[in-house]
């Protein structure tokens, strides 16, 4: 789906409403805020417009970035924000918890609307393939939402059709294993109705690769490693996707719809825009406080995961890491992904967040400055410098690097370590502008587990994966609790490390591996049981 098609579709629906109102008897009025079923579901275009309406429920930048901020690698920078959720002092009345639930189920309802009605359209030789495609797109979009819901809440109601209010009040939570079964079947069955690729006018629609890549993700989250391997291998066997050679440009306008992108949410400046520059760029280039700049910032925990450019962790005494020059000779993805002290900013100035730097980014000078001294660089493009709240950059939801790392992780988990595992990881590590040394044979299962987990974290940093990963790896209780730290800087010959004041992250393993079922949902439907500990 292109945004132009979405807007045109909306306009045509409005036109259809107008023509209906203008030709009917004035006493037989039609509601002016919706299309009656008798006027819709007649043509192939009706199906197209309906499935287009499900695409806006792909995740927006705010939703993606904040999930990483709820983990160990990020922090919510806003002083007046959702810190209770970051600190894990949330409860079932949390607005963010409720919003994630509602957004996902709205996306499911939009997909169900297509699937409930598309068979009403008369089938002809000319529209058979298109109707099958739109039906498959809806199934993939619905599965996308269930993957998130189970990852966040565990057992949730499995709703396969649009239902009445009374039916909704009778819903119970479906065991997550049943939902994983449903998601896997849906995605694989959807493949036949989808295309490998689409022409430029239809970029952004769900493809065969999108369905299979989501199946790989779902089965990895479910711990079904054999299925994850098979789905990831199926994506590779399509020979449609590859690693984009320049990580440093991967999130730029010039790289939109590149060979690595499998699913993205399409935006268009002035028509259907996002505010990623305004919420993520450093304060010194934002000059705006609404929305708040530096809304989500990286932590020292993330920065320290990037190895030296020879692949050796900075904690290794043999690495050559110099704490007085901490960004020299590091994995290039560090400075491609994060603004660090000394980085060039989109306005041509130098990023200097040191507390006494005198710049707008100086830590502690205002709560709009990055509290850790780091800022996210992904999607912050010079093209948006003069239109900070009106950005048209597409937001990637799933890319080929994730598929390769899923394949490698699943094979390592089953101790099926062979050349294909190393090849998958090396493809990610050795793109042209990263070029870390290739992993070689002989590494143990434990060593490779550590490597692939680090690769997922730094390669996919602030793309919305870390919260799900530390939950399924069951390491959140080890990596989340504690104070939040930021840059280490030279203060007159003395090294000092930033510690975010009056803030300590917590994690209770007895309950925090799942969020609570939103309180409002349980008030409306007492049949929804609580998660343990809530």
Residue 195 has pLDDT above 50, yes or no: yes
Which tens digit of pLDDT belongs to each residue from 228-251? 999 999 999 999 999 999 999 999
What is the average per-residue pLDDT within 129-155? 98
β-pairing, 74-76 vs 261-265, is: unpaired
**Rounded CA gap, 256 and 64, in Å?**
18
Residue 11 has pLDDT above 80, yes or no: no
> Sign (positive/negative) of CA torsion 27, 31, 36, 39?
positive
Residue 81 has pLDDT above 60, yes or no: no
Long-range contact pairs involving 203-208 (C-beta distance under 8 Å, separation at least 24): 203/2, 203/257, 203/266, 204/1, 204/2, 204/55, 204/257, 204/264, 204/265, 204/266, 204/394, 205/1, 205/137, 206/136, 206/137, 206/140, 206/141, 206/263, 207/240, 207/262, 208/238
Residue 332 has pLDDT above 50, yes or no: yes
Which tens digit of pLDDT belongs to each residue from 364-398? 999 899 999 999 999 999 999 999 999 999 999 99
Residue 79: name the closest of 340, 486, 283, 370 by CA: 370
3-state SS, residue 39: helix
3-state SS, residue 40: coil
Q: Which has more pLDDT, 261 or 78?
A: 261
**Rounded CA gap, 69 and 77, in Å?**
9
Residue 317 has pLDDT above 70, yes or no: yes
Residue with tokens 């990055």: 370
Band of the pLDDT at 9, cuts 50, 70, 90? Answer: very low
Residue with tokens 């030279």: 490
Give the per-residue pLDDT at 36: 60
3-state SS, residue 328: coil
Q: Dump the DSSP string for 86-107.
A: HTT---TT-HHHHHHHHHHHHH
**Rounded CA gap, 114 and 97, in Å?**
27
Tokens of 313: 């962790």
Give the per-residue pLDDT at 86: 62
Give the per-residue pLDDT at 327: 98
Residue 35 has pLDDT above 60, yes or no: no
Q: Which has more pLDDT, 32 or 285?
A: 285
Beta-bridge mates of residue 344: 350
Q: Where are the alpha helices (DSSP H) in 60-192?
A: 61-69, 83-86, 95-117, 128-153, 165-168, 176-190
**Rounded CA gap, 88 and 531, in Å?**
15
Band of the pLDDT at 79, cuts 50, 70, 90? Answer: low
Band of the pLDDT at 4, cuts 50, 70, 90? Answer: very low
Kindly report the average pLDDT of the chain as a whole number: 91
Task: Name the least confident of 30-44, 106-120, 188-202, 304-318.
Answer: 30-44
Give the per-residue pLDDT at 39: 77
DSSP 497: E
Yes or no: say if 448 and 421 are a contact pair by the CB < 8 Å rule: yes
User: Would you tell me how many other CB atoms lie within 10 Å of the CB of residue 438?
Assistant: 13
Which tens digit of pLDDT belongs to each residue from 340-352? 999 999 999 999 9
Q: pTM of the prediction?
A: 0.92
Give the per-residue pLDDT at 10: 44
Task: Name the least confident of 1-10, 248-257, 440-449, 524-533.
Answer: 1-10
Q: Which has more pLDDT, 23 or 156?
A: 156
Residue 143: name the closest of 240, 221, 29, 64 by CA: 221
Residue 508 has pLDDT above 80, yes or no: yes
What is the average per-residue pLDDT within 214-230? 98
**Rounded CA gap, 354 and 364, in Å?**
9
Q: Which has more pLDDT, 281 or 32?
A: 281
Give the per-residue pLDDT at 307: 98
What is the average per-residue pLDDT within 134-139? 98
Give the per-residue pLDDT at 33: 53
The CATH architecture that domain 3-63+96-270+514-524 belongs to is Alpha Horseshoe (1.25)
Residue 27 has pLDDT above 50, yes or no: no
Please give the share of the chain, as a percent, with pLDDT higher than 90.
85
Q: At a CB cut-off of 8 Å and minimum separation 6, what does 254 contact?
A: none
Residue 513 has pLDDT above 60, yes or no: yes
User: Would you tell me how many other CB atoms lie within 10 Å of the CB of residue 325?
Assistant: 11
What's the gap between Cα 326 and its chain centre?
Answer: 29
């Amino acid at each position: 789906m292109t945004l132009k098609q979405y807007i045109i579709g909306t306009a045509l629906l409005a036109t259809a409403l107008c023509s209906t109102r203008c030709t009917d008897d004035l006493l037989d009025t039609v509601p002016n805020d919706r299309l009656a079923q008798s006027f819709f579901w007649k043509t192939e275009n009706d199906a197209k417009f309906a499935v287009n309406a499900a695409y806006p429920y792909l995740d927006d930048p705010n939703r993606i970035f904040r999930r990483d901020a709820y983990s160990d690698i990020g922090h919510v920078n806003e002083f007046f924000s959702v810190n209770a959720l970051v600190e894990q002092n949330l409860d079932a009345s949390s607005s963010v918890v409720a919003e994630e639930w509602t957004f996902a189920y709205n996306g499911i309802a939009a997909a169900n609307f297509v699937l409930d009605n598309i068979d009403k359209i008369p089938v002809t030789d000319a529209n058979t393939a298109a109707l099958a495609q739109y039906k498959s797109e809806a199934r993939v979009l619905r599965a996308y939402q269930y993957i998130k819901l189970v990852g966040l809440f565990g057992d949730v109601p499995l709703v396969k059709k649009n239902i009445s209010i009374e039916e909704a009040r009778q819903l119970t939570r479906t065991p997550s294993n049943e939902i994983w079964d449903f998601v896997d079947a849906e995605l694989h069955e959807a493949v036949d109705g989808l295309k490998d690729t689409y022409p430029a006018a239809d970029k952004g629609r769900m493809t065969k690769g999108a369905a299979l890549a989501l199946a790989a993700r779902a089965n990895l989250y479910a711990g079904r490693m054999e299925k994850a391997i098979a789905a990831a291998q199926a994506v590779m066997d399509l020979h449609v996707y590859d690693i984009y050679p320049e990580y440093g440009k991967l999130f730029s306008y010039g790289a939109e719809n590149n060979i690595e992108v499998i699913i993205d949410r399409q935006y268009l400046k002035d028509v259907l825009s996002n505010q990623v520059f305004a919420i993520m760029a450093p304060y010194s280039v934002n000059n705006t406080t609404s929305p708040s700049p530096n809304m989500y910032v990286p932590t020292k925990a993330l920065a320290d995961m990037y190895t030296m450019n020879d692949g050796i962790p900075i904690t290794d005494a043999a690495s050559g890491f110099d704490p007085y020059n901490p960004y020299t000779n590091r994995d290039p993805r560090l400075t491609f992904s994060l603004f660090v002290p000394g980085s060039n900013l989109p306005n041509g100035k130098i990023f200097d967040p040191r507390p006494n730097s005198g710049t707008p980014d100086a830590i502690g000078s205002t709560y709009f400055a990055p509290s850790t001294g780091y800022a996210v660089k992904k999607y912050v493009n010079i093209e948006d410098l003069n239109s900070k709240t009106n950005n048209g950059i597409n937001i990637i939801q799933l890319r080929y690097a994730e598929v390769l790392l899923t394949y490698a992780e699943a094979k390592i988990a089953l101790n099926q370590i062979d050349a294909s595992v190393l090849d998958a990881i090396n493809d990610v590590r050795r793109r042209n502008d990263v070029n870390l040394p290739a992993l070689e044979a002989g590494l143990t299962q434990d060593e490779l587990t550590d490597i692939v987990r680090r690769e997922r974290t730094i390669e996919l940093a602030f793309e919305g994966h870390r919260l799900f990963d530390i939950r399924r790896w069951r390491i959140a209780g080890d990596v989340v609790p504690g104070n939040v730290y930021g840059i280490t800087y030279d203060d007159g010959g003395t090294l000092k490390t930033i510690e975010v004041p009056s803030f300590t992250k917590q994690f209770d393993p007895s309950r925090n591996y799942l969020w609570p079922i939103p309180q409002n949902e349980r008030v409306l439907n007492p049949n929804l049981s609580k998660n343990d500990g809530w």
